[in-house]
Structure 1
Amino acid sequence: MTKIRITKQFSFETGHALFGYDGKCKNVHGHSYKLSVTVIGTPITDRDNVKFGMVIDFSDLKTIVKEEIVDLFDHATVFNQTTPHVELAKELKQRGHHVILVDYQPTSENMVVDFAKKIINRLPNSIALHSLRLQETETSYAEWYASDNL
């Protein structure tokens, strides 16, 4: 049967700072991220299945990505937990801000790897994550492809 790729796009606002970086991004700032999630699979052939003809229902994919990424990262500030930014994170949390501490430098490259792991863990066995594209600015993005990570 034919393999088909489908893509769903998401957007969210997230702040971050890159500790130790030698440019402007060492300062706390934010981005309007756009995430494109592409999965691959075979459309359902069982005519009695309500999802007949679909690889995955777009709403099911939306639920996975919203729960694992968008709802968590939207309007949050992300810091590397192994840097002095932990002190700033504590202060912000005490003031009611949504802060996420991660075990990596919160670059687009590292975030897209984190997102891939989260999505893969939630997909049904019959569907594979094909690729992710995390757009940080109008002209800059990071991509993750399953074929590059075998």
Structure 2
Amino acid sequence: MPKIRITKQFTFETGHALYGYDGKCKNVHGHSYKLAVTVIGSPIEDTNNVKFGMVIDFGDLKKIVKEEVVDQFDHATVFNKNTPHVELAKELEQRGHHVILVDYQPTSENMVVDFAQRIKSRLPKDIDLVTLRLQETESSYAEWHQSDNL
């Protein structure tokens, strides 16, 4: 059976700050992120299966990505928990803001690696994550490719 790649796109709003950075991104700011998730697998051949002909139901892929990434990161502010930003995070949380503390600098590069791990852990065993593309601005994005991480 042939292998087919399918892609689903998502959008979410997230704030962050890069501790120690020497440019404007050291300040708290946000992005309208676009995330493209590409998986690969063989279409279901069982004619009695309601998902006959699908690699994975787009709705099932959407559920995984929403639960693991979009619902958690949308309208949140992300800080590296190993920096003094943790004090700002505590203040924001006390004021009712949604804050995520991560153990990495919250760049697009590091976020896309985090997202890959989250999504891979939830995919059915016969479906593989191929690529993630996290677009931070209209002209800037980070990509994660499984083939680069074997």
The TM-score with structure 2 as length reference comes to 1.00
**What CA deviation, in whole Å up to 9, does each residue of 1:17-50 have, x standing for no partner?**
0000000000000000000000000000000000
2:84 corresponds to which residue?
84
Distance 1:113 1:39 in 2: 15
Residue 130 of structure 2: aligned partner: 130
Question: The residue matched to 2:55 in structure 1 has which SS?
Answer: coil
SS of alignment partner, residue 93 of structure 2: helix
Q: CA deviation at 1:76?
A: 0.1
How many positions carry a matched residue from both structures?
Answer: 150
Which position in structure 2 is the counterpart of 1:40?
A: 40
Task: Mark the runs of 5 or more structure 1 residues left unpaired by the alignment.
Answer: none
What's the secondary structure of 1:61's corresponding residue? helix
Q: Aligned letter for 2:39?
A: V
Distance 1:141 1:86 in 2: 26
CA distance, structure 2, for counterparts of residue 69 and residue 132 of structure 1: 12
Task: State the shift of 1:7 in Å.
Answer: 0.1
- Once residues 127 and 145 of structure 1 are traced to their aligned partners in structure 2, the CA distance between those partners, rounded to angstroms, is 15
Q: In the alignment, does 2:106 pair up with 1:106? A: yes
Deviation at 1:74, TM superposition (A): 0.1
Structure 1 CA distance for aligned equivalents of residues 133 and 11 of structure 2: 11
Unaligned runs of 5+ in 2: none
**How far apart, CA to CA, are the structure 2 residues paired with 1:106 and 1:121?**
21
Q: What letter matches 2:142 in structure 1?
A: A
CA distance in 1, matches of 2:86, 2:107: 17
Percent of aligned positions with the same letter in both sequences?
A: 82
Root-mean-square deviation (Å): 0.2
Q: How many angstroms apart in 1 are the aligned matches of 2:119 and 2:100?
A: 18
Q: Output the TM-score relative to the length of structure 1.
A: 1.00
Query: 1:92 is paired with a residue of what secondary structure?
Result: helix
